[in-house]
Amino acid sequence: MGYEHFMPVKQQLHKNMKHTLQIHIHEIFNNISVRGPFNPLNNAAYKLVNGQYDKGGRRWILPDAEESRQMLDELFGSMSPTVAVAVEFAQLTSTGNQSGLGGYLIANWDTRKNCIRLGDGIELIDGAWDVAKSAVHQAPCVVESDALFHILVRRNFAVANGLEIIAELGEEILINPLAPFSDSDLREELERRGYRVERRFF
């Protein structure tokens, strides 16, 4: 197998790395709003606690119950400062066309574009993708199993799973207080308060 089948680390580090936590969880109208990348395993877990997918808001709405909170804590850790952890590829769980760590999506194989896509807040630090092998298996594959990633997670997730914390990035901050709400949520609340909302379709 020639060198051209391997994707060196630095070819896609800065292009794909987004220095933000990939999962956003907020309380909303006595429910819990969960927004993050598509993940079949997470979706199955949301359905087990009677979660409903909101297509308009591109998020899951879960009942604000102990069962929901416990499930989210196991997948992502309870609300806490964001940290960067160092994880080897061998520590990841591979299912179908993707690799993950708990509920965090690390990478998946894009069958339409025949390429590997990294999740937000993920960086391959040491190692290289084996693109040819990934294409055959339709799943992310690396040249060596000790390929090293830096991953942004909630601090409580890192502690609970015994992960090596390499940097503290700070508290979770909701920059836009309306971000968790979809247009339909905001329209509903305005109408509840007696405002007349003009509905437009584009």
For every one of its 202 residues, what pLDDT tens digit does the chain have, with 9 covering 90 and above?
332 333 333 333 334 445 678 999 998 888 999 999 999 999 999 999 999 999 988 999 999 999 999 999 999 999 999 999 999 999 999 888 999 999 999 999 988 888 898 888 998 888 888 888 988 889 898 888 789 999 999 999 999 999 999 988 765 444 445 555 666 777 777 777 777 665 543 3
Sign of CA dihedral 161, 141, 7, 12: negative
Number of domains the chain is built from? 1
Q: Does any domain span residue 33?
A: no
Phi-psi region of 30 (alpha: psi -120 to 50; beta: other; left: phi over 0): left
How much is the pLDDT for 197? Answer: 61
How much is the pLDDT for 2? Answer: 30
Give the bridge partners for 63, in sequence order: 31
Q: What tokens appear for 74 in the block?
A: 């196991």
Q: Does any domain span residue 36?
A: no
Phi-psi region of 136 (alpha: psi -120 to 50; beta: other; left: phi over 0): alpha
Q: Does any domain span residue 151?
A: yes
Largest interatomic CA distance in the chain: 68
Q: Does any domain span residue 160?
A: yes
How much is the pLDDT for 188? Answer: 76
Give which of 118, 122, 102 is closest to 110, Cα–Cα.
Answer: 118
Q: Does any domain span residue 194?
A: no
Q: Does any domain span residue 9?
A: yes
Q: What span, in angstroms and rounded, lies between the C-alpha atoms of 23 and 76?
A: 8
Phi and psi dihedrals of 139, rounded to 5? -155, 150
How much is the pLDDT for 180? Answer: 56
Give which of 33, 39, 35, 32 is closest to 22, Cα–Cα.
Answer: 35
How much is the pLDDT for 15? Answer: 42
How much is the pLDDT for 194? Answer: 74
Domain that holds residue 154: 3-22+78-170
Q: Does any domain span residue 48?
A: no
Distances (CA, A) of 166 to 75, 94, 152: 20, 24, 10
Q: What span, in angstroms and rounded, lies between the C-alpha atoms of 144 and 130?
A: 9
Q: Does any domain span residue 122?
A: yes
